[in-house]
Amino acid sequence: MLSSLTYRTCLAIITLSAAASLLIPTHAHDVFAERVLLIHFGDAGERLDPYHPDQVTAVRAIASDGAALPVTMLPIGETGVTIQSPNGDLIAVAVHWDGGYRVKPTLEGKWQKTTRAEAEAAGAYRHSTLISLRVFAWHPALATPHGTDLELLPLTDPAAATVGGHLQVRIVRDGKPLAGVALRTGESKDDLLSDANGVVQVPLTTAGLLFIKASVSDSVGPAEHVRRATLVVTVPGA
């Protein structure tokens, strides 16, 4: 069964400034600042939660010409990870994140984290995955589905949008548009439903960072598989 859901927790990808960049020594007599991207997990602007780097199952970067870019993942301790590209024309990054498995000891109890083996042995469990696309600059290739899981794709350039206008977004699953799925932004308490082509006109009410979110759920017997997608763009100011 496919149903629409909403949620607050999301992945955020931010750019470290040159002043706050990671210092990476190359030789005994060299040190230089490198521009990297830091991946966060939690409630954007409110709270960040620790997570293990192996929850980041894949990272896809896009260059200014729309082509894929190689990236390097750099763990930070046991609870963080950065990503780094060998050149400076990176315009977007998609992160695939595994939210793991959860079970309820009782019907009235809270969801508790567990291993996949323990969840499958229990029979009734929830497994969640998330794909977060962070757009820094525009290219038409960003509107093309990558073909895996759930995706929120910008169909128009966020940098050309204005407050009071709209951003056209499409929701797809395995490359195919989804109709009737609820999208939500941090600016609105109301759901926006995708049309027959999976398209939503997202209203832009304020400038700055905008999180657009959607979720679908498949139930197989007592097990629930939740797929979540987040599109993160910057709406220009006046």
- The pLDDT score that the predictor gives to residue 33 is 57
Q: What is the mean pLDDT of each run of 10 residues along the chain (238 residues)?
A: 39 42 46 67 68 83 89 75 72 90 83 90 91 92 88 94 93 94 78 93 91 91 92 86
Q: Are 88 and 35 in contact, with CB atoms under 8 Å apart?
A: yes
**3-class state of residue 174 by DSSP:** coil
- The pLDDT score that the predictor gives to residue 49 is 73
Tokens of 127: 């497994």
CA 11/CA 220 separation, integer angstroms: 26
CA 18/CA 211 separation, integer angstroms: 25
- The pLDDT score that the predictor gives to residue 238 is 59
| Residue-number span of the structural domain to which 73 is assigned | 2-235
Counted domains in the chain: 1
pTM for the structure as a whole: 0.81
H or E stretch including 63?
A: strand 56-63
Q: Which residue has the tokens 């609820």?
A: 182
CA 119/CA 15 separation, integer angstroms: 36
Alpha helix segments (H runs only) across 54-206? 116-122
